[in-house]
Amino acid sequence: MNDNKNMYTQNPGPLKIWYLAIRPKTLPAATGPVIVGMGLALGDGVFKFGPVIVALLAALLLQIGSNLANDVYDFKKGTDTNERLGPVRVTQAGLLSPRQVIRGMVFVFALAFLLGLYLIYVGGWPILVIGILSIVAAIAYTAGPFPLGYKGVADIFVFVFFGPVAVCGTYYLQAGYVHPAAWWASIPPGLLVTAILVVNNLRDVETDRKAGKKTLAVRFGVPFTQAQYLALVGTAYIIPVIMWVLGVASDTVFLAALSLPLAVPVIKDVFTVKGSPLNVTLAGTARLSLVYCFLFSLGYLMG
Q: pLDDT digit string (tens) for 189-240?
A: 999 999 999 999 999 898 888 888 899 999 999 999 999 999 999 999 999 9
How many whole angstroms separate alpha carbon 249 and alpha carbon 139?
36
∠ Cα 109 110 116 (to 5°): 90
- Phi, psi dihedrals of residue 45, rounded to the nearest 5°: 75, 25
Q: What pLDDT sits at residue 240?
A: 97
Dihedral (CA of 234, 239, 240, 241) sign: positive
Query: 166-175 vs 49-76: helix axis angle to the nearest 10?
Result: 150
Instruction: Find out whether 293 and 33 touch, Cβ atoms under 8 Å.
Output: yes
* Residues of the chain under the 70 pLDDT cut: 1-11, 78-86
What per-residue confidence (pLDDT) applies to 13?
84
* pLDDT, position 225: 97
CB 277 within 8 A of CB 265: no
Identify the DSSP state of 165: I
pLDDT in tens, 152-189: 899 999 999 999 999 999 999 999 999 999 999 999 99
Residue 2 has a pLDDT of: 42
CB-CB contact of 250 with 234 (8 Å)? no
With H, G, I as helix, E, B as strand and everything else as coil, classify residue 145: coil
Task: Give the Cα separation of 53 and 34 in Å (integer).
Answer: 9
Contact assessment for residue 2 and residue 276, using Cβ atoms and an 8 Å cutoff? yes
pLDDT of residue 10: 60
Q: What is the pLDDT of residue 161?
A: 95
**Half-sphere exposure (CA, 13 Å, Cβ side) for 46?**
15
pLDDT at 7: 44
pLDDT confidence of residue 6: 45
Q: What pLDDT sits at residue 1?
A: 34
Q: 208, 105, 72: which is closest to 152 by C-alpha?
A: 208
Maximal C-alpha separation, the chain: 57
Q: Give the model's pLDDT for residue 151.
A: 87
Determine the pLDDT at residue 207: 86
CA 225 to chain centre: 18
